[in-house]
A and B are shown apart, each in its own frame.
Chain A
């Protein structure tokens, strides 16, 4: 019983984190039809930016009001989206809309390679630590178990993020425009929708979500080079399980992967590193395009 509770709590915490780091990936694929390997690098940039911002906040006397460090984390993600988003979308990706999906994977792989080194140039190769926001929320006691409050805040952040994205797409005018562009960019353009702007906006939102994932993770880990390479394949697994382009799918995928991994950590630690891919392979066996994928007609 206690084991089950531990697995569920650990699984939910991990699922919350997974959802934040992968929802941007599925959003960008849904709108731009590009599976963005560089999403992992954007996550890492977010982590570095978050660590730097929090460090800067404390160096200008943030001790007096430690809660401001959370604002600093979110601000870091916004900054990354504002700077990196337009450069990548306007400068590179827009030349590849409508091209082969696999080719686009390679384009973003090239971006991934370049960003990995650009990060080393900017932030060096030494680790960054910002533990202050992590300990700020204290501990939470559930039965005989202690958890760090920040971990639950991550679940909360995931729920808020998911709701915000879902409401924006399904309940606002902008969301309707985005859905129209997803359905048919050409007709949308003919109807007077500014399609390039929708693309830019969606990509910047994706960058923001990736960077937010990184920034929120920064207090929990030591930020080092190579961070992005591990995250991106986990995010891939989540969005592919859910069906590429589906927000609900990403949530279900994150829950499945999160719980599976927590179960494996506690019951079968040998499988910890690959249980994620096992779940993904299992889902693809029965649903070759993921759980929530759109049905597409085959072209002759």
Chain B
């Protein structure tokens, strides 16, 4: 993708999001904010999916990022969302850098299950630690924006705008990364990792970097979700939470970045509406939806966009 197309796409995304700020009602703005925050986590999974790996434990970083937000606001009384986002990304980045090289040697189901186990370790630890609220979790202070402390609708809009901006920046950066040398090596690993090794590139190195970026995106998404919800609990790291992130990544496919956020918004919409109208049966729809995607669109929503543009058929 050339820089010009990328800039145009980023501007278009900003325009759509800005239009949303004006047009969307209050509840929808919250819904989109949460969807984008979770979409960030799924974007990290997509980065690994490009190399053929699916992490079933991104809840680890989502939860870690969220708890960083809670700790920073509760212990230091600082609620600046920019600062908190940076702190959360640094913390989860450090965790990802430590775990990445270890996990990068695992493939397929073992990678999925080991990452799941790690997130469950965090879940178990936090659920038992009464000093950070145990299973009740912690409350998070209302965010401020570089010294500005809005309330009510202004707060909702500011959160939405901040999340939208962060999403666009993250999306652009990840697209640049995907098209970089290491990003393309990742795609080659998906096709055949042994050949990549014989050609002289390090599969492990590429996967460790993908994992690191996934960790940072997870932390960022978690921090933003915590700030907009105003509350965190260990469920953030439970495996069903991670399952939802995988759901979004599968729905989106690994071909397109905007498709990830589109998929995240679709999931939140389906959830909110079926939760409202069919409180006890909405997971049936979700499951059937997932099966339909796997059957009909095995490469995700992104394949619709991508196929039109390049005309390629796998």
Q: Size band of the A side of the interface?
A: 35 or more
What 8 A-B pairs have minimum CB-CB distances, sorted nearest first? A273-B124, A274-B124, A114-B287, A113-B287, A277-B117, A110-B290, A110-B287, A274-B121
B residues 101-156 touching A (CB-CB < 8 Å): 102, 105-106, 108-110, 112-114, 116-118, 120-125, 127-129
Q: Is A102 an interface residue (CB 8 A)?
A: yes
Of all chain B residues, the one with the shortest Cβ separation from A114 is B287
Q: How far is the CA of A111 from the CA of B243 in the complex (A)?
A: 13
Q: Is A280 an interface residue (CB 8 A)?
A: yes
User: Are the CB atoms of B280 and A300 closer together than 8 Å?
Assistant: no
User: Are the CB atoms of A107 and B294 closer together than 8 Å?
Assistant: yes
User: Are the CB atoms of B294 and A277 closer together than 8 Å?
Assistant: no
Q: Is A64 an interface residue (CB 8 A)?
A: no
User: Are the CB atoms of B120 and A233 closer together than 8 Å?
Assistant: yes
Q: Is B284 an interface residue (CB 8 A)?
A: yes
CB neighbours (8 Å) of B121 from chain A are: 274, 277-278, 281
Of all chain B residues, the one with the shortest Cβ separation from A273 is B124
Of all chain A residues, the one with the shortest Cβ separation from B56 is A105
Q: Is A109 an interface residue (CB 8 A)?
A: yes
Q: Is B301 an interface residue (CB 8 A)?
A: no
Q: How far is the CA of A130 from the CA of B290 in the complex (A)?
A: 36
Task: Give the shortest distance, in Å, between A35 (CB) and chain B (any CB).
Answer: 6
Task: Give the shortest distance, in Å, between B118 (CB) and chain A (any CB).
Answer: 7
Q: How many A-B residue pairs have CB under 8 A?
A: 114
Of all chain B residues, the one with the shortest Cβ separation from A298 is B194
Q: Size band of the B side of the interface?
A: 35 or more
Q: Is A289 an interface residue (CB 8 A)?
A: yes
Q: Is B191 an interface residue (CB 8 A)?
A: no
Which of the residues A92, A105, A273 comes within 8 Å of B123, measured between beta carbons?
Answer: A273
Q: How far is the CA of A271 from the CA of B243 in the complex (A)?
A: 24
The stretch from A116-124, A190-198, A209-217 touching chain B is A116-124
CB neighbours (8 Å) of A272 from chain B are: 124, 128
CB neighbours (8 Å) of A284 from chain B are: 106, 110, 114
Task: Give the shortest distance, in Å, between A204 (CB) and chain B (any CB).
Answer: 21
User: Are the CB atoms of B110 and A240 closer together than 8 Å?
Assistant: yes
Q: Is A236 an interface residue (CB 8 A)?
A: yes
Given contact pairs A110-B287, A274-B121, A281-B121, A233 touches B243 in the complex (Cβ within 8 A)? no
CB neighbours (8 Å) of B106 from chain A are: 284, 288
- What are 22 contact pairs spanning A and B, CB under 8 A? A95-B295, A102-B54, A106-B54, A106-B290, A106-B294, A109-B290, A110-B287, A110-B291, A113-B283, A113-B284, A113-B287, A114-B288, A233-B117, A233-B239, A236-B113, A270-B128, A272-B128, A274-B125, A277-B117, A277-B118, A284-B114, A298-B194
Q: Interface on chain A toward B: helix, strand, loop, or mixed SS?
A: helix
Q: Is A229 an interface residue (CB 8 A)?
A: yes
Given contact pairs A110-B294, A273-B128, A102 touches B113 in the complex (Cβ within 8 A)? no
Q: Is A15 an interface residue (CB 8 A)?
A: no
Of all chain A residues, the one with the shortest Cβ separation from B290 is A110
User: Are the CB atoms of B283 and A277 closer together than 8 Å?
Assistant: no
Q: How far is the CA of A299 from the CA of B192 in the complex (A)?
A: 9
Interface flags for B221-261 (1: CB within 8 Å of A; 0: not) read 00000000000000000111001001100100000000000
Q: Is A101 an interface residue (CB 8 A)?
A: yes
Which of the residues A105, A274, A300 comes within 8 Å of B120, measured between beta carbons?
Answer: A274
Which of the residues B56, B108, B283 comes within 8 Å of A117, measured between beta carbons?
Answer: B283
Q: How far is the CA of A280 from the CA of B114 in the complex (A)?
A: 8
CB neighbours (8 Å) of B290 from chain A are: 106, 109-110, 113
User: Are the CB atoms of B113 and A229 closer together than 8 Å?
Assistant: no
Q: How far is the CA of A280 from the CA of B33 in the complex (A)?
A: 36
CB neighbours (8 Å) of B192 from chain A are: 300
Q: Is A87 an interface residue (CB 8 A)?
A: no
User: Are the CB atoms of B195 and A300 closer together than 8 Å?
Assistant: yes
User: Are the CB atoms of B294 and A233 closer together than 8 Å?
Assistant: no
Interface flags for B260-298 (1: CB within 8 Å of A; 0: not) read 000000000000000000001111101110110011001
CB neighbours (8 Å) of B246 from chain A are: 106, 109
Q: Is A187 an interface residue (CB 8 A)?
A: no
Of all chain B residues, the one with the shortest Cβ separation from A277 is B117
User: Are the CB atoms of B283 and A116 closer together than 8 Å?
Assistant: yes
Of all chain B residues, the one with the shortest Cβ separation from A113 is B287
Q: How far is the CA of A102 from the CA of B49 in the complex (A)?
A: 11
User: Are the CB atoms of B280 and A125 closer together than 8 Å?
Assistant: yes
Given contact pairs A120-B280, A281-B117, A101 touches B195 in the complex (Cβ within 8 A)? no
Q: How far is the CA of A288 from the CA of B298 in the complex (A)?
A: 29
Interface flags for B69-111 (1: CB within 8 Å of A; 0: not) read 0000000000000000000000000000000001001101110
Q: Is A77 an interface residue (CB 8 A)?
A: no
